[in-house]
């Protein structure tokens, strides 16, 4: 299998599911960083509490061409005060051809965010460090597992499968 061929989201090829993937562009669509309590927040003592939120938005740009936007939001609190809020919308334009509808949905829900996440992780890390806080690196995310969990929530009948 070549670099730009995908055989299903989990590497196993469902019948007739092998398709072609091409990454056309990866870019930061939007980013923001806020330190609402500056400069006093830098004097706060305590264990930081980090909250991570992920979301994804997909737009069909043309036949077989999709923009996928992975939004990563990191909120850090010390006690009840927000130390910082970092948000990155990491986007990519993907050409996805030769997939049946189910496989296409799986590729968009797993391959695309897996491709975008390292870029988003670096952007968040740079924002946090440039904001005057200790280095922060997001841990890897298992998008295959998240996709499977979302599928089980959408269709409880498949949860036992």
CATH number of the domain that residue 121 is part of? 3.10.420.10
The domain total for the chain is 1
Res 3 pLDDT > 70: no
pLDDT score of 6? 52
CA distance 34 to 86: 7
Whether 17 maps to a domain, the answer reads no
Dist. CA 26–CA 117, nearest whole Å: 11
Which among 110, 102, 106, 94 is positioned nearest to 143, based on CA atoms? 110
Could you tell me the residue range of the domain that residue 58 belongs to?
26-148
% of the chain residues with pLDDT over 70: 86
pLDDT tens track for 119-160: 999 999 999 999 999 999 999 999 999 999 988 888 766 545
Q: Report the distance separating Cα 152 and Cα 44, nearest Å.
A: 42
What's the whole-number mean pLDDT along residues 9-21? 59
Q: Is residue 36 part of a domain?
A: yes
Residue 16, judged by CB atoms within 10 A of its CB (0-12, 13-18, 19+), counts as exposed
4 domain residue, yes or no = no
For helices 101-130 and 143-154, angle between their N-to-C axes, nearest 10 degrees: 130
Q: In the prediction, which pLDDT does 158 show?
A: 52
Model confidence at 13, pLDDT cuts 50, 70, 90, reads very low
6 falls within a domain: no
For residue 4, pLDDT beyond 70: no
Total count of residues recorded for the chain: 161
Q: Which residue has the tokens 């609402």?
A: 36
Q: Six-digit token pair at 90? A: 């990491």
At residue 52, the pLDDT reads 96
**Given a cut of 60, is residue 68 above it in pLDDT?**
yes
* Residue 148 to residues 90, 105, 159, Cα–Cα distance (Å): 22, 12, 9
Q: Is there a domain that residue 8 lies in?
A: no
Phi and psi at 71, nearest 5°, equal -100, 125
Where would I find the beta strands (DSSP E) of 3-160? 5-6, 19-34, 48-62, 65-78, 81-97
Which of 8-12, 36-40, 84-88, 133-137 is predicted with the least confidence, judged by mean pLDDT? 8-12
Over residues 72-84, the mean pLDDT reads 96
- Residue 33 or residue 153, greater confidence: 33
Mean pLDDT of 29-52: 95
Q: What percent of the chain has pLDDT over 90?
A: 79
Pairing of strands 65-78, 5-6: unpaired
In a domain? residue 130: yes
């Amino acid at each position: 299998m070549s670099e730009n061929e995908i055989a299903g989201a989990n590497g196993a090829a469902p019948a007739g599911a092998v398709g072609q993937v091409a990454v056309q562009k990866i870019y930061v669509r939007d980013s923001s960083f806020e330190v609402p309590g500056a400069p006093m927040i830098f004097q706060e003592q305590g264990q930081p509490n980090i909250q991570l939120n992920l979301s994804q938005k997909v737009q069909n740009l043309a036949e077989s061409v999709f923009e996928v936007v992975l939004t990563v939001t990191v909120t850090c609190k010390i006690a009840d005060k927000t130390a910082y809020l970092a948000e990155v919308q990491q986007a990519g334009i993907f050409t996805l051809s030769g997939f049946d509808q189910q496989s296409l949905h799986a590729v968009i829900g797993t391959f695309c965010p897996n491709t975008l996440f390292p870029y988003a992780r670096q952007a968040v890390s740079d924002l946090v460090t440039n904001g005057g806080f200790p280095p922060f690196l997001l841990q890897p995310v298992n998008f295959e597992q998240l996709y499977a969990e979302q599928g089980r929530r959408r269709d409880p009948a498949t949860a036992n499968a």
